[in-house]
């Protein structure tokens, strides 16, 4: 069986959905977006965190049904647990102190990818996090479009004396020579503020806009096909001609012909699919990086004008400090800092502060890892449960990364001193490599077709006329900030390139 369409998108996470939205808005071409995983909710791409608890739990257990998500039958006592909505690359991994092999590497396999599970922090990169070979005006405009698609706002939570007090105290301590846009401030969040003060979190539904509605999609020539693994991109003489698709529930394998092919299948499985298709440039899977992460709990001395009723929940925990951003700033603070009220934290803290009566916030510091080509995905001869090349990660922290973690621990104390103190039982801990879920660099873009990158600044695979990539794997710089806004912006640039070159 063959099908002919104009554009094939593999992967329906934020990157794939951005391609779908931008291309559907810019052309009447027919678009097919496939995903190996199933739809988890009734609204296409809705963020699972918006659902009431029973529906949320049902969605998580549905996500666990993906063949690679099976929990091993004899889990060791100290085996790492995947974050809700994700499954580990190596389900038997334990968190080793050396971080070798990135034990916590994980992925999501469902319609919307990780973009229906994410915490929605959308800061822009700064300083050396930025991509120097993309013209600033182009990047600026792509960020604006990305922020519009994701519904990014700094008003997700209402400003309270407590949240304002946190920002003021951080700026007193860390302002140094920061420009205005790099001062501590409310975190830009992908969400829509609600009257009850609890934001509605954006999933890929926000990116899709009216295309989240199946009838609108049919009318506008976009199909989102779940449970459909792309096994291979078909190529001939520098052209991608289509793909072999595999319907997981029935085992049917069929071919789709397409004029343009886009792979946005996350930073691990995009290289995997290219490798399986015989597209193996030297840089593929190399320069893999994840942001080393330090977390702690901070007791906050509530400002004297804070109303105790609105600042401190009955159980003593803060519930209205929202999410605060302390931006990456070199050389004094080479970390991305986020302070989160407890119910917004993506990490469940084992210990909670014991300083009853004081608001507590979770502090996360993300480091920009030293980039090395030897941190990479190794593709093995054997295949995984889906018939794709099995992946193993060669990965470790360098002496510079370890020194950075020491500095981050010291920075935790500084944040504690600025706000009140590090909570008893909430002292800084380093999370196993991979926990950030922000994997980058593995199919990165670059200014020239050399062995250090896989694709052009417009995310077109070097040597191919019509094969494009999306997702965090295209990000070529060492970043501390959350990557999704950047990869959505890069997908906008890539989609504009496709519109110009194929559908003008």
The residues annotated with a catalytic role in the active site are 438
Residues 6+ apart with CB under 8 A from 403: none
Q: Residue 498: which of 15, 22, 45, 166 has the closest Cα?
A: 22
Pairwise CA distance, residues 292 & 308, whole Å:
35
Query: Which listed range, 101-109, 254-262, 395-403, 413-421, lies at the site for ligand FAD (CB under 6 A)?
Result: 101-109
Does 334 contact ligand FAD by CB under 6 A? Answer: no
- Closest contact distance (angstroms) between CB of 316 and ligand FAD is 25
Structure tokens that stand for 342 in this block: 């407890």
Name the DSSP class of 445: B
Angle at 325 between CA 319 and CA 329, to 5 degrees: 155
Give the per-residue contact string, 339-378, with ligand FAD (x = CB under 6 A; - = no).
Answer: -------x--------------------------------
- Closest contact distance (angstroms) between CB of 395 and ligand FAD is 18
CB 20 within 8 A of CB 472: no
Q: Which residues pair with 225 in a beta bridge?
A: 34
Task: Count CB-CB contacts under 10 A for residue 79.
Answer: 18
Does 271 contact ligand FAD by CB under 6 A? Answer: no
Residues 6+ apart with CB under 8 A from 399: none
CB 494 within 8 A of CB 459: yes
Pairwise CA distance, residues 156 & 78, whole Å:
37
Pairwise CA distance, residues 233 & 455, whole Å:
16
Does 86 contact ligand FAD by CB under 6 A? Answer: yes
Contact with ligand FAD (CB under 6 A) among 99, 269, 329, 376:
269
Does 103 contact ligand FAD by CB under 6 A? Answer: no
Contact with ligand FAD (CB under 6 A) among 9, 12, 286, 302:
12
Does 118 contact ligand FAD by CB under 6 A? Answer: yes
Contact with ligand FAD (CB under 6 A) among 10, 139, 152, 262:
10
Size of the site for ligand FAD (CB under 6 A): 41
Binding to ligand FAD (CB under 6 A) within 172-231 occurs at 229-230
Does 83 contact ligand FAD by CB under 6 A? Answer: yes
Tell me whether residue 21 or residue 83 sits nearer to ligand FAD (CB atom).
83
Which residues here bind ligand FAD, judged by CB under 6 A?
Answer: 10-16, 34-37, 83, 85-86, 107-110, 113-115, 117-121, 229-230, 264-266, 269, 273, 346, 437, 471-472, 482-484, 487
């Amino acid at each position: 069986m063959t099908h002919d369409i104009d554009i094939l998108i593999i992967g329906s996470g934020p990157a794939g959905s951005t391609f779908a939205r931008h291309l559907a808005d810019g052309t009447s071409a027919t678009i097919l977006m496939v995903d190996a995983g199933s739809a988890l909710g009734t609204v296409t791409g809705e963020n699972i965190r918006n659902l009431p608890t029973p529906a949320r739990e049902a969605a998580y257990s549905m996500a666990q049904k993906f063949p690679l998500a099976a929990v091993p039958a004899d889990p060791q006592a100290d085996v790492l647990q995947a974050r809700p909505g994700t499954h580990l690359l190596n389900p038997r991994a334990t968190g080793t102190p050396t971080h070798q092999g990135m034990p916590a590497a994980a992925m999501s396999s469902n319609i919307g990818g990780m973009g229906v599970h994410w915490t929605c922090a959308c800061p822009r990169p700064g300083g050396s996090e930025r991509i120097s070979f993309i013209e600033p005006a182009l990047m600026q405009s792509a960020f604006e479009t990305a922020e519009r698609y994701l519904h990014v706002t700094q008003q997700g939570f209402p400003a309270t004396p407590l949240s304002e007090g946190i920002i003021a105290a951080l700026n007193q301590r860390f302002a140094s020579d920061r420009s205005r846009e790099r001062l501590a401030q409310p975190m830009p969040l992908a969400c829509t503020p609600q009257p009850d003060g609890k934001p509605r979190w954006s999933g890929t539904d926000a990116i899709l806009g009216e295309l989240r509605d199946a009838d609108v999609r049919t009318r506008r020539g976009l199909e989102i096909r779940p449970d459909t693994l792309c096994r291979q991109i078909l190529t001939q003489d520098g052209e991608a001609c289509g793909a072999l698709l595999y319907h997981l529930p029935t085992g049917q394998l069929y071919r789709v012909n397409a004029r343009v092919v886009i792979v946005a299948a996350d930073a691990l499985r995009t290289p995997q699919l290219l490798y399986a298709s015989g597209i193996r440039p030297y840089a593929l899977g190399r320069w893999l990086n994840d942001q080393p992460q330090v977390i702690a709990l901070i007791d906050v001395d509530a400002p004297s004008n804070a109303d105790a009723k609105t600042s401190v929940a009955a159980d003593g925990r803060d519930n209205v400090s929202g999410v605060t951003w302390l931006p990456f700033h070199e050389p004094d603070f080479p970390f991305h800092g986020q302070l989160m009220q407890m119910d917004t934290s993506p990490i469940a803290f084992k210990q909670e502060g014991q300083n009853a009566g004081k608001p507590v916030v979770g502090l996360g510091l993300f480091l920009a890892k030293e980039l090395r080509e030897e941190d990479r995905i190794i593709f093995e001869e054997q295949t995984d449960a889906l018939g794709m090349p099995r992946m193993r990660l060669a990965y470790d922290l360098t002496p510079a990364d370890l020194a950075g973690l020491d500095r981050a621990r010291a920075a935790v104390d500084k944040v504690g001193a600025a706000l009140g103190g590090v909570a008893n039982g909430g002292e800084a801990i380093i999370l196993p490599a991979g926990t950030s879920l922000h994997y980058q660099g593995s199919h990165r873009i670059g200014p020239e077709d050399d062995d250090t990158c896989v694709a052009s600044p417009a995310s077109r695979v070097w040597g191919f006329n019509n094969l494009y990539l999306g997702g965090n794997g295209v990000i070529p710089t060492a970043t501390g900030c959350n990557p999704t806004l950047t990869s959505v912006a890069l997908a906008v640039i890539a989609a504009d390139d496709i519109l110009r070159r194929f559908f003008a």
